[in-house]
Amino acid sequence: MSKAVITITDADFETEVLKAEQPVLVYFWASWCGPCQLMAPMINSAASTYSDRLKVVKMEIDPNPDTVKRYQVEGVPALRLIQGEKLLESTEGVIGKEKLLSLLAKHLDTN
């Protein structure tokens, strides 16, 4: 079963991310951000590739300043891999699919 990326807001963050059973990849994006459009398919691909071990959510930065500030998102696209209250990984800017997958593989049991 492939899982879709869930769109969340500041209000959903605690429930969807901090209280999730699995690690959560949070994808910060903006509608005006060209590079974000390029990364979207890769984020969707990660969601289906790791659907059994990873939750993937996306958050538009402009309407959600609290979470953006809390995770010090300086530019978009940005990724934060979070488990419970713990920040496992953090990237800013466009990254390639290989880098994304190796970043995730470090934290997910990929056997």
The pTM for the full model equals 0.94
Question: pLDDT averaged over consecutive 10-residue blocks of the chain (111 residues)?
Answer: 83 97 96 94 92 94 97 97 96 93 84 46
Give residue 4's pLDDT.
84
Catalytic residue among 5, 20, 30, 33: 33
Catalytic residue among 36, 39, 56, 61: 36
Catalytic annotation present for 33: yes
The span from the CA of 4 to the CA of 2, in Å, is 7
Catalytic annotation present for 14: no
